[in-house]
Chains A and B, each alone.
Chain A
Amino acid sequence: DSGVTQTPKHLITATGQRVTLRCSPRSGDLSVYWYQQSLDQGLQFLIQYYNGEERAKGNILERFSAQQFPDLHSELNLSSLELGDSALYFCASSVGGSGVPTYNEQFFGPGTRLTVL
Protein backbone atom coordinates (compact mmCIF):
# COMPACT_ATOMS: atom_id res chain seq x y z
CA ASP A 1 0.00 0.00 0.00
CA SER A 2 1.61 3.24 -1.20
CA GLY A 3 -0.55 5.47 0.98
CA VAL A 4 -2.04 7.18 -2.08
CA THR A 5 -5.74 6.63 -2.55
CA GLN A 6 -7.78 7.06 -5.71
CA THR A 7 -11.49 6.88 -6.31
CA PRO A 8 -13.34 5.46 -8.06
CA LYS A 9 -11.52 2.26 -9.02
CA HIS A 10 -13.58 1.84 -12.18
CA LEU A 11 -15.67 4.28 -14.16
CA ILE A 12 -17.81 3.56 -17.19
CA THR A 13 -19.43 6.43 -19.03
CA ALA A 14 -20.58 7.56 -22.44
CA THR A 15 -19.01 9.84 -25.02
CA GLY A 16 -19.64 13.51 -24.39
CA GLN A 17 -19.95 13.08 -20.65
CA ARG A 18 -17.87 14.62 -17.87
CA VAL A 19 -16.24 12.76 -14.98
CA THR A 20 -14.16 13.63 -11.92
CA LEU A 21 -11.37 11.48 -10.57
CA ARG A 22 -10.19 11.98 -7.02
CA CYS A 23 -6.81 11.47 -5.38
CA SER A 24 -5.56 11.76 -1.81
CA PRO A 25 -1.76 11.91 -1.51
CA ARG A 26 0.41 10.28 1.12
CA SER A 27 0.44 12.10 4.41
CA GLY A 28 3.06 14.85 4.25
CA ASP A 29 3.45 14.86 0.47
CA LEU A 30 2.99 18.26 -1.13
CA SER A 31 3.07 17.29 -4.80
CA VAL A 32 0.39 15.47 -6.74
CA TYR A 33 0.88 14.22 -10.28
CA TRP A 34 -1.65 12.89 -12.76
CA TYR A 35 -0.76 10.35 -15.44
CA GLN A 36 -2.66 8.62 -18.22
CA GLN A 37 -1.63 5.12 -19.20
CA SER A 38 -2.73 3.41 -22.38
CA LEU A 39 -1.33 0.36 -24.12
CA ASP A 40 0.15 2.26 -27.05
CA GLN A 41 1.37 5.42 -25.31
CA GLY A 42 2.66 4.10 -22.01
CA LEU A 43 2.59 6.29 -18.93
CA GLN A 44 2.01 9.89 -20.00
CA PHE A 45 2.44 12.78 -17.59
CA LEU A 46 -0.58 15.10 -17.55
CA ILE A 47 -0.13 17.70 -14.83
CA GLN A 48 1.50 18.38 -11.47
CA TYR A 49 0.38 20.43 -8.49
CA TYR A 50 2.65 21.48 -5.65
CA ASN A 51 1.09 22.75 -2.44
CA GLY A 52 -2.06 23.90 -4.20
CA GLU A 53 -0.47 25.51 -7.23
CA GLU A 54 -0.01 24.18 -10.73
CA ARG A 55 3.68 23.35 -11.14
CA ALA A 56 4.05 21.61 -14.49
CA LYS A 57 1.96 20.62 -17.46
CA GLY A 58 2.52 17.69 -19.73
CA ASN A 59 0.37 16.23 -22.47
CA ILE A 60 -2.91 17.36 -20.98
CA LEU A 61 -5.79 18.09 -23.32
CA GLU A 62 -7.77 21.32 -23.02
CA ARG A 63 -10.84 19.20 -22.19
CA PHE A 64 -9.05 18.05 -19.05
CA SER A 65 -8.41 20.12 -15.96
CA ALA A 66 -7.21 19.52 -12.44
CA GLN A 67 -6.92 21.25 -9.12
CA GLN A 68 -5.38 20.66 -5.72
CA PHE A 69 -7.33 21.71 -2.66
CA PRO A 70 -6.08 23.19 0.63
CA ASP A 71 -6.13 19.75 2.25
CA LEU A 72 -3.83 18.66 -0.65
CA HIS A 73 -6.22 16.20 -2.23
CA SER A 74 -6.60 16.61 -5.97
CA GLU A 75 -9.25 16.13 -8.60
CA LEU A 76 -8.86 15.52 -12.32
CA ASN A 77 -11.83 16.60 -14.41
CA LEU A 78 -12.33 15.07 -17.84
CA SER A 79 -15.03 16.57 -20.06
CA SER A 80 -16.51 16.00 -23.52
CA LEU A 81 -15.20 12.47 -23.26
CA GLU A 82 -14.16 10.59 -26.37
CA LEU A 83 -13.58 6.90 -26.96
CA GLY A 84 -9.84 7.54 -27.03
CA ASP A 85 -9.89 8.82 -23.47
CA SER A 86 -10.41 5.28 -22.23
CA ALA A 87 -7.32 4.49 -20.19
CA LEU A 88 -5.92 4.00 -16.73
CA TYR A 89 -5.47 7.27 -14.85
CA PHE A 90 -2.93 7.31 -12.06
CA CYS A 91 -2.26 9.81 -9.36
CA ALA A 92 1.13 9.93 -7.69
CA SER A 93 2.48 12.00 -4.84
CA SER A 94 5.89 13.04 -3.62
CA VAL A 95 7.36 15.09 -0.82
CA GLY A 96 9.13 17.49 -3.16
CA GLY A 97 8.67 18.41 -6.77
CA SER A 98 9.09 22.11 -6.23
CA GLY A 99 10.86 22.55 -9.55
CA VAL A 100 14.37 21.58 -8.60
CA PRO A 101 15.85 18.06 -8.52
CA THR A 102 14.96 16.39 -5.25
CA TYR A 103 15.44 12.75 -6.22
CA ASN A 104 11.75 13.06 -6.84
CA GLU A 105 10.50 9.64 -5.78
CA GLN A 106 6.86 9.30 -6.61
CA PHE A 107 4.35 6.99 -4.97
CA PHE A 108 1.47 5.85 -7.12
CA GLY A 109 -2.12 5.17 -6.28
CA PRO A 110 -3.99 2.09 -7.56
CA GLY A 111 -5.46 4.00 -10.50
CA THR A 112 -8.88 4.62 -11.98
CA ARG A 113 -9.84 2.62 -15.04
CA LEU A 114 -11.97 4.82 -17.27
CA THR A 115 -14.02 3.22 -20.02
CA VAL A 116 -15.81 5.50 -22.47
CA LEU A 117 -18.50 3.77 -24.51
Chain B
Amino acid sequence: TQLLEQSPQFLSIQEGENLTVYCNSSSVFSSLQWYRQEPGEGPVLLVTVVTGGEVKKLKRLTFQFGDARKDSSLHITAAQPGDTGLYLCAGESLKGRLAFGKGNQVVVIP
Protein backbone atom coordinates (compact mmCIF):
# COMPACT_ATOMS: atom_id res chain seq x y z
CA THR B 1 0.00 0.00 0.00
CA GLN B 2 1.14 3.52 -0.78
CA LEU B 3 1.89 5.70 2.24
CA LEU B 4 0.76 8.80 0.37
CA GLU B 5 -2.27 8.71 -1.91
CA GLN B 6 -2.55 11.38 -4.56
CA SER B 7 -5.79 12.18 -6.34
CA PRO B 8 -6.81 12.51 -9.03
CA GLN B 9 -4.14 10.44 -10.76
CA PHE B 10 -4.77 12.25 -14.04
CA LEU B 11 -6.36 15.61 -14.75
CA SER B 12 -6.79 17.39 -18.07
CA ILE B 13 -8.06 20.97 -18.16
CA GLN B 14 -8.27 23.93 -20.50
CA GLU B 15 -5.88 26.85 -20.24
CA GLY B 16 -7.23 29.47 -17.85
CA GLU B 17 -9.18 27.05 -15.66
CA ASN B 18 -8.45 26.38 -11.99
CA LEU B 19 -7.58 23.00 -10.53
CA THR B 20 -6.88 21.37 -7.20
CA VAL B 21 -5.05 18.12 -6.54
CA TYR B 22 -4.74 16.28 -3.27
CA CYS B 23 -2.20 14.33 -1.27
CA ASN B 24 -3.56 12.25 1.61
CA SER B 25 -2.14 9.94 4.24
CA SER B 26 -3.03 8.40 7.57
CA SER B 27 0.47 9.25 8.82
CA VAL B 28 1.67 12.46 10.42
CA PHE B 29 4.58 14.19 8.73
CA SER B 30 7.12 16.64 10.08
CA SER B 31 7.09 18.35 6.69
CA LEU B 32 5.62 17.84 3.26
CA GLN B 33 7.11 18.76 -0.05
CA TRP B 34 5.70 19.20 -3.53
CA TYR B 35 7.77 18.49 -6.63
CA ARG B 36 7.01 18.84 -10.34
CA GLN B 37 8.45 16.42 -12.83
CA GLU B 38 8.49 16.75 -16.60
CA PRO B 39 8.96 13.77 -18.95
CA GLY B 40 12.50 12.40 -18.95
CA GLU B 41 13.66 14.76 -16.20
CA GLY B 42 14.13 14.61 -12.47
CA PRO B 43 11.59 16.03 -10.01
CA VAL B 44 12.08 19.69 -9.13
CA LEU B 45 11.25 20.93 -5.66
CA LEU B 46 8.46 23.53 -5.61
CA VAL B 47 7.74 24.07 -1.94
CA THR B 48 8.09 22.70 1.58
CA VAL B 49 5.32 23.12 4.16
CA VAL B 50 6.08 22.52 7.79
CA THR B 51 3.35 23.85 10.09
CA GLY B 52 -0.16 22.39 10.29
CA GLY B 53 -2.57 24.69 8.42
CA GLU B 54 0.26 26.45 6.63
CA VAL B 55 -0.47 28.02 3.26
CA LYS B 56 2.27 28.91 0.81
CA LYS B 57 1.93 30.64 -2.53
CA LEU B 58 4.25 30.35 -5.49
CA LYS B 59 2.89 32.66 -8.20
CA ARG B 60 -0.36 30.97 -9.32
CA LEU B 61 0.24 27.86 -7.19
CA THR B 62 -1.17 27.66 -3.66
CA PHE B 63 -0.07 24.87 -1.33
CA GLN B 64 -1.82 24.01 1.91
CA PHE B 65 -0.73 21.66 4.67
CA GLY B 66 -3.55 20.05 6.64
CA ASP B 67 -4.09 21.04 10.26
CA ALA B 68 -3.13 17.54 11.41
CA ARG B 69 -0.08 17.45 9.10
CA LYS B 70 -1.42 14.33 7.34
CA ASP B 71 -2.52 15.79 4.04
CA SER B 72 -1.95 18.59 1.59
CA SER B 73 -3.48 20.23 -1.45
CA LEU B 74 -2.15 22.10 -4.43
CA HIS B 75 -4.38 24.65 -6.16
CA ILE B 76 -3.44 26.19 -9.50
CA THR B 77 -5.21 29.36 -10.58
CA ALA B 78 -5.64 30.17 -14.27
CA ALA B 79 -3.58 27.18 -15.39
CA GLN B 80 -1.09 27.65 -18.20
CA PRO B 81 0.35 25.01 -20.58
CA GLY B 82 3.66 25.40 -18.73
CA ASP B 83 1.97 23.98 -15.63
CA THR B 84 1.71 20.61 -17.38
CA GLY B 85 3.63 17.94 -15.50
CA LEU B 86 3.59 15.26 -12.85
CA TYR B 87 3.10 16.75 -9.39
CA LEU B 88 4.60 14.62 -6.64
CA CYS B 89 4.04 15.07 -2.94
CA ALA B 90 6.55 13.71 -0.44
CA GLY B 91 6.13 13.46 3.30
CA GLU B 92 9.03 13.55 5.72
CA SER B 93 8.47 11.19 8.63
CA LEU B 94 9.42 11.89 12.22
CA LYS B 95 12.55 9.81 11.55
CA GLY B 96 13.58 12.07 8.70
CA ARG B 97 12.63 9.64 5.92
CA LEU B 98 10.92 10.91 2.78
CA ALA B 99 8.09 8.96 1.13
CA PHE B 100 6.64 9.89 -2.25
CA GLY B 101 3.15 9.54 -3.64
CA LYS B 102 2.61 8.28 -7.19
CA GLY B 103 1.79 11.75 -8.43
CA ASN B 104 -0.93 13.81 -10.06
CA GLN B 105 -0.48 13.99 -13.83
CA VAL B 106 -1.76 17.41 -14.94
CA VAL B 107 -2.25 18.33 -18.58
CA VAL B 108 -3.19 21.90 -19.50
CA ILE B 109 -4.57 22.19 -23.01
CA PRO B 110 -3.91 25.49 -24.84
A positions within 8 Å CB-CB of B: 2, 4, 33, 35, 41-43, 45, 56, 90, 92, 96-111, 113
- B45 adjacent to chain A (CB < 8 Å): yes
Q: Complex Cα distance A27/B25, Å? A: 33
Q: Complex Cα distance A90/B35, Å? A: 14
Q: Please determine whether B50 and A99 come into contact, CB atoms closer than 8 angstroms.
A: no
Q: State the majority secondary structure of interface residues on B.
A: loop
17 extra interface residue pairs, beta carbon distance < 8 Å, beyond A42-B100, A104-B92, A110-B42 = A2-B44, A43-B43, A43-B88, A45-B98, A56-B97, A96-B96, A100-B96, A101-B30, A101-B31, A101-B94, A102-B96, A103-B30, A103-B50, A106-B33, A106-B45, A108-B44, A111-B40
B positions within 8 Å CB-CB of A: 2, 30-31, 33, 35, 40-45, 48, 50, 88, 90, 92-103
Q: Complex Cα distance A107/B42, Å? A: 9
Q: Complex Cα distance A96/B48, Å? A: 15
Q: Complex Cα distance A109/B45, Å? A: 12
Q: Complex Cα distance A41/B48, Å? A: 24
- A6 CB → nearest B CB, Å: 8
**Residue numbers in A under 8 Å from B97 (CB-CB):** 45, 56
Q: Please determine whether A43 and B30 come into contact, CB atoms closer than 8 angstroms.
A: no
Q: State the majority secondary structure of interface residues on A.
A: loop
**Residue numbers in B under 8 Å from A108 (CB-CB):** 35, 42-44
Residue of B nearest to A41 (CB): B102
Q: Please determine whether B43 and A100 come into contact, CB atoms closer than 8 angstroms.
A: no
Q: Please determine whether A42 and B95 come into contact, CB atoms closer than 8 angstroms.
A: no
Q: Please determine whether A103 and B100 come into contact, CB atoms closer than 8 angstroms.
A: no
Q: Which of A2, A100, A104 contacts B98 (CB 8 A)?
A: A104
Residue of A nearest to B92 (CB): A104
